[in-house]
């Protein structure tokens, strides 16, 4: 298989072919894994701007209901539903997925395992093209009559199934089509990640020498492959319900709306781990590099991750405790939900143990990595309460759930992504990002982030229900103290969004004028750091690397340098 | 990869066609066998379907010649199908809801409320209808039934 794979790479898109390429063939229709990674990353970042803008608009409505919103105008209830729905959809499917899995997986996997490209470069290109198509379909859905889909990102029927309920006759089917296309794109990408890692590793790289982030992306891809089937089936059934008049989810005609919830969450919960695992991987790499310490218990982390992946298929109904599922099933799903915190906790403890006794360098990437560990811990701990069915009956569909979810997802999709960008930017573009601006951006992101969601925890525990357009219509929720917290959260959001301009400026300035990085600016061990920055087409030039040791040999006793690249020959070892 | 000797795909195809004929013919002729009709239908329709699926996966999907992890991933996906069935069985197999609606406790609550002369609804006749309205779609039919029973 490996031989075939390499042959295909070689012949498929002519790595030997180093003649000047046009802009289109080099950056748009490229089969180079790095370019495809960038395409995913920039598309994801552009979508993040849209998702962030939507959040700004509906947060403004909640803080100052009925007022005209700068850069939007007056927000109607239908548009509010559409914005909330598409904020969730975009941030999960078009930001977290492309940036964390597709961009990082594409850019890092071939570099870290020491091969010249993905084993199926054209499938890889097709993956991005379908993803781009899905993003275009989603964006088009905002401009059709009735506006973008307004049935919440979980698309529960009957609300999502009938246009007279969600009042988005065209937005709803387009949303489903976009999500389905997006899933197809990531299946293609996932096939590449798994096959490349299993078949195209550098000479000498054994299973336990694979960097943790590569393992995490591979396991995430397997989870994704195993879990999307029900969602695609459900999406097609829902599309038929919307357009052809079938009644899979229509109780009045003998269907079952709860079935959709099962189909959705059977995918939806593993999906949480699909995006979590790459984030864990990123933070693991960064923690080791900047603590100058070996990753604490590599094998335990790996096996915990596999256990986490398996368990993630047994927890989905904890989203449905109040949807009318059998109460006996809730015992089971409460138990599995509490169990799944064990492998997550093991990984978190392993990262904290990695820090212990390390020689920590507080670079911007490391700050974001540490922030991930701390903030995700808050999200995880609040999840334990929500996983208990008794507590969930009160808290379900309140802002407590929302705040919990964002305390897990913002660390994953935003904080870990920033950590990765600050860490691998020198490898991607050959220059370092400005550290001062980076730290400014870090504190400007983390403090407002907590400012947004801590008030929402309090509001949620106080009974504030989700998906409400105007709380002034609810006497119990319209009090000045609650409204003050909403205003505080909204102002925090605006501050956080404003600080992202610092990041964008830093990104653009550093592209042009950043300090030259050289091959290995962080003195890290993994294989991507032995090649040029940015790596050339084919990654490693004439000779492909050979691997002699694991990826985390930092501060090894008896060595002059505190790092030990994976490809360095053992002869250089001091006696 | 190149070292493997692939079987003749034509042979596999012909086998599949023969199995297909058997799987169509089996249920057709089964009624003639009296008490054995049911097992014959099951074996010829579903048993042969499983065999055909195996042949397609093993040869046309190349799983027989892949590294061992590839069939393992497929088997893992397949086992998750059973996880999904198990998880939804309590809902899907009792869609009329008799398994989880608690008429006894509901009736007790109504009686208790009556005893406290706490007016739940405008009149007794409205009771079933109101319950119907409160319920979400899933237990629609059942609530209606239980409401009727109370009448």
Report the residue of A200, A256, A257 to disrupt the B interface, i.e. the one with the largest count of B CBs within 10 Å: A256
Residues B118 and B75 in one domain: no
Asked if residue B72 and residue B26 are part of one domain, the reply reads yes
| Least CB–CB distance from B87: residue in A257, A317, A324 | A317
User: According to the model, what pLDDT value does residue B5 have?
Assistant: 63
From chain A, the residues in CB contact with B65 under 8 A are none
Q: pLDDT grade, residue B146 (50/70/90)?
A: very low
Dihedral sign (CA A338, A342, A343, A347)? positive
Distance from CA of B56 to the nearest CA of A (A): 19
Specify whether the CB–CB gap between A283 and A301 falls below 8 A.
no
CB A396 within 8 A of CB A322: yes
Query: Residue B4 falls within a domain, yes or no?
Result: no
Q: Is B117 exposed, middle or buried (0-12, 13-18, 19+ CB in 10 A)?
A: exposed
**The pLDDT of residue B73:** 82
B84 and B113 assigned to the same domain:
no
CB atoms within 10 A of CB A132: 17
**Residues B53 and B127 reside in one and the same domain:** no
Q: Is residue B15 domain-shared with residue B49, that is, in the same domain?
A: yes
B138 and A252 within 8 Å at the Cβ level: the answer is no
pLDDT reported for residue A163: 87
Q: What is the pLDDT of residue B104?
A: 60
Place of tokens 């002519």: A14
The answer for A451, left when phi > 0, alpha when psi is -120 to 50, beta otherwise, is alpha
pLDDT of the residue at A53: 96
Taking CA atoms, A393 is separated from A105, A197, A316, B112, B139, in Å, by 38, 43, 16, 24, 18
Q: Which residues pair with A516 in a beta bridge?
A: A431
Query: 10 Å Cβ neighbour count for A271?
Result: 25
Q: Evaluate whether A118 touches A544 at the Cβ level (below 8 Å).
A: no
Confidence (pLDDT) at B105: 61
CB A404 within 8 A of CB A379: yes
Quote the radius of gyration of chain B (alpha carbons, Å).
Answer: 27
Q: How far is A157 from chain B, CA to nearest CA, in Å?
A: 9
CB atoms within 10 A of CB A467: 11
Nearest Cα to Cα of residue A525 among A544, A547, A543, A542 = A547
Q: Report pLDDT for A572.
A: 54
* Å between B90 CA and nearest CA of chain A: 6
Contact residues, chain A, for B92 at CB < 8 Å: 256, 259, 262
pLDDT of the residue at A92: 95
Give the residue from A19, A22, A192 showing the smallest Cα distance to A117: A192
> Could you tell me how far CA B43 lies from the centroid of its own chain?
19
B97 domain-assigned? no
Any domain includes B34: yes
Residues 6+ apart with CB under 8 A from A157: A238, A241, A249, A250, A257, A260, B137
* Six-digit token string for A529: 């750091």
**Contact A432/A425 with Cβ under 8 angstroms?**
yes
The distance of B122 to chain A (nearest Cα, Å) reads 25
Interface contact flag, A251 B90, Cβ < 8 Å:
no
Residue among A175, A363, A199 nearest A287 (CA):
A363
Residue B28 resides in a domain: yes
The verdict on residue B96 lying in a domain is no
pLDDT bucket at B131, cuts 50 / 70 / 90:
very low
User: CB-CB: which of B2, B84, B90 is closest to A325?
Assistant: B90
CA distances from A48 to A194, A406, A509, B147 (A): 27, 15, 20, 50
Domains and CATH numbers, chain A: 36-572 (1.20.210.10)
The two three-digit tokens of residue A130, written as one number: 């379908």
Contact A225 B67 (CB under 8 A): no
Question: What residue in B sits closest to A228 (Cα-Cα)?
Answer: B77
User: Do B59 and B24 share a structural domain?
Assistant: yes
Inter-CA distances, A20 with A17, A23, A33, A355, Å:
9, 9, 18, 46
Give me the long-range contacts of B38-44 (CB less than 8 A, separation at least 24).
none
A154: closest CA of chain B, how far (Å): 17
Q: Is residue B20 part of a domain?
A: yes
Query: pLDDT tier at B141 (50, 70, 90 boundaries)?
Result: very low
- The Cα-based distances of A23 to A195, A365, A459, A484 in angstroms read 29, 32, 51, 52
Contacts A259 to B, Cβ<8 Å: 88, 91-92
Task: Report the residue from B66, B69, B87 with minimal CB separation from A262.
Answer: B87
Mutation target among A251, A260, A270 for the B interface, most CBs of B within 10 A: A251
Please tell me whether residues B79 and B111 are part of one structural domain.
Answer: no
Is residue B1 situated within a structural domain?
Answer: no
In whole angstroms, give the CA distance from residue B42 to residue A15. Answer: 54
User: Based on the domain organization, do B69 and B32 belong to the same domain?
Assistant: yes
B79 → chain A, closest CA residue: A226
Dig out the tokens for A198 from the structure. Answer: 């299993």
Rounded-to-integer distance, Cα A29 and Cα A37, Å: 13
Q: Pick from A224, A313, A322, A323 the residue to mutate for testing the B interface (most B CBs within 10 Å).
A: A313
Say if residue B126 is in the same domain as residue B53. Answer: no
HSE, CB side, 13 Å, CA atoms: give it for residue B140. 14
Task: Give the DSSP per-residue string, chain B.
Answer: -TTS-PPPHHHHHHHHHHHHHHHHHHHHHGGGGGGGHHHHHIIIIIIHHHHHHHHIIIIIS-TTTS-THHHHHHHHHHHHHHHHHHHHHHHHTTTT-TTT--HHHHHHHHHHHHHTT---SS-TTHHHHHHHHHS-GGGHHHHHHHHHHH-
Specify the number of domains making up chain B: 2
Nearest by CB to B83, which of A222, A251, A313? A313
Instruction: Give the residue ranges of DSSP H helices in A356-429.
Output: 364-387, 389-395, 399-410, 416-429
- Interface residues of B toward A, Cβ cutoff 8 Å, are 1-2, 66-67, 69, 73, 76-77, 80, 83-84, 87-88, 90-92, 94-95, 97, 99-100, 136-141
Residue B2 lies in a domain: no
Calpha distance B81→B53 (Å, rounded): 16
Among residues B91, B119, B140, the one where a domain terminates is B91
Mutate: best of B138, B140, B141, partner A, most A CBs <10 A? B138
Can you list the residues of chain A whose pLDDT is less than 70? 1-19, 571-575
pLDDT bucket at B31, cuts 50 / 70 / 90: confident
Instruction: Give ∠ CA A318-A314-A220 in degrees, rounded to 5.
Output: 105
Shared-domain flag, residues B32 and B68: yes
Same domain, B76 and B17: yes
Domain span at B46? 9-91
DSSP three-state, residue A465: strand
Measured between beta carbons, the chain B residues lying within 8 angstroms of A256 are: 91-92, 95, 138
Angle A132-A25-A185 from CA coordinates, rounded to 5°: 25
Which residue of chain B has the CA closest to A195? B70
Q: In chain B, which residues have their Cβ closer than 8 Å to the Cβ of A157?
A: 137
pLDDT number for residue B8 = 84
Q: Are residues B81 and B117 in the same domain?
A: no
ipTM for the predicted complex: 0.74
Supply the mean pLDDT for chain B: 72
Beta-carbon pairs below 8 A across chains A and B: 78
| A194, A266, A328: residue with CB nearest B90 | A328
Q: B103: pLDDT confidence band, cut at 50, 70 and 90? A: low
């Amino acid at each position: 298989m490996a031989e075939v794979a390499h042959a295909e790479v070689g012949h498929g898109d002519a790595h030997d072919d180093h003649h000047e390429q046009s802009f289109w063939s080099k950056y748009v229709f490229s089969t180079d894994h790095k370019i495809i990674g960038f395409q995913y990353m920039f598309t994801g970042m552009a979508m993040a701007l849209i998702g962030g803008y939507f959040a700004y608009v509906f947060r403004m409505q909640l803080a100052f209901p009925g007022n005209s919103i700068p850069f939007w105008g007056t927000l109607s209830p239908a548009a509010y539903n559409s914005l909330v729905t598409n904020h969730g959809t975009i941030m999960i499917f078009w930001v977290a997925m492309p940036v964390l899995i597709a961009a990082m997986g594409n850019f890092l996997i071939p570099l870290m395992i020491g091969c010249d490209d993905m084993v199926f470069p054209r499938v890889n290109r097709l993956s991005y093209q379908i993803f781009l198509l899905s993003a275009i379909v989603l964006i088009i859905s905002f401009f059709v009559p009735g506006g973008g889909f307004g049935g919440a990102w979980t698309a529960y029927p009957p609300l999502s199934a009938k246009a007279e309920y969600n009042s988005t006759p065209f937005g709803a089917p387009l949303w489903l089509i976009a999500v389905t296309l997006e899933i197809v794109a990531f299946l293609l990408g996932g096939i590449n990640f798994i096959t490349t890692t299993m078949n195209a590793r550098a000479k000498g790289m054994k299973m336990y020498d694979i960097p943790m982030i590569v393992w995490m992306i591979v396991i995430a891809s397997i989870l994704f492959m195993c879990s999307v089937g029900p969602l695609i089936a459900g999406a097609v059934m829902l599309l038929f319900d919307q357009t052809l008049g079938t009644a899979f989810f229509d109780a009045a005609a003998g269907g079952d709306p709860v079935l959709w919830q099962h189909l959705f969450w059977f995918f939806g919960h593993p999906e949480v781990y699909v995006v979590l695992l790459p984030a864990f991987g990123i933070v693991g790499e960064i923690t080791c590099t900047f603590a100058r310490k070996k990753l604490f218990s590599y094998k335990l982390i790996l096996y915990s991750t596999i256990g986490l992946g398996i368990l993630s298929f047994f927890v989905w109904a904890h989203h449905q405790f109040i949807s009318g599922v059998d109460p006996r099933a809730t015992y089971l799903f409460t138990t599995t939900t509490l169990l799944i915190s064990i492998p997550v906790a093991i990984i978190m403890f392993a990262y904290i143990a990695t820090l212990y006794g390390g020689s920590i360098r507080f670079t911007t990437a490391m700050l974001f990595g540490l922030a991930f560990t701390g903030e995700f811990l808050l999200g995880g701990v609040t999840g334990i309460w929500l996983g208990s069915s008794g507590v969930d009956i009160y808290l379900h569909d309140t802002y407590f759930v929302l705040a919990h979810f964002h305390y897990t997802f913002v660390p994953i999709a935003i904080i870990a992504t920033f950590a990765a960008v600050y860490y691998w930017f020198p490898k991607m573009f050959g220059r370092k990002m400005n550290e001062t601006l980076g730290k400014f951006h870090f504190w400007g992101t983390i403090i407002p982030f907590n400012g947004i969601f801590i008030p929402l925890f309090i509001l949620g525990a106080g009974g504030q229900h989700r998906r409400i357009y105007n709380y002034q219509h609810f006497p119990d929720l319209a009090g000045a103290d609650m409204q003050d917290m909403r205003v505080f959260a909204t102002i925090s959001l605006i501050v956080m969004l404003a600080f992202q301009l610092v990041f964008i400026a830093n990104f653009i300035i550093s592209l042009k004028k950043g300090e030259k990085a050289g091959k290995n600016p962080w003195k890290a061990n993994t294989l991507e750091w032995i090649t040029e920055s940015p790596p050339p087409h084919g990654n490693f030039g004439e000779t492909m690397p050979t691997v002699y040791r694991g990826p985390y040999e930092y501060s090894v006793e008896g060595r002059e340098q505190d790092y030990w690249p994976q490809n360095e020959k053992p002869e250089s070892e001091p006696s | 990869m190149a070292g493997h000797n692939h079987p003749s795909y034509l042979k596999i195809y012909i086998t599949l066609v023969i199995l297909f004929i058997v799987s169509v013919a089996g249920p057709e002729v089964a009624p003639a066998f009296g008490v054995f009709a049911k097992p014959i239908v099951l074996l010829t329709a579903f048993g042969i379907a499983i065999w055909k699926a195996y042949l397609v996966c093993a040869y046309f999907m190349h799983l027989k010649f892949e590294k061992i992890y590839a069939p393992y991933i497929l088997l893992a996906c397949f086992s998750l199908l059973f996880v999904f069935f198990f998880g939804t069985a309590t809902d899907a197999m009792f869609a009329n809801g008799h398994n989880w609606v608690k008429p006894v406790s509901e009736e007790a609550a109504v009686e208790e409320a009556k005893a406290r002369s706490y007016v739940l609804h405008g009149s007794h006749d409205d009771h079933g209808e109101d319950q119907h309205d409160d319920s979400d779609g899933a237990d629609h039919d059942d609530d209606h039934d239980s409401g009727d029973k109370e009448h």
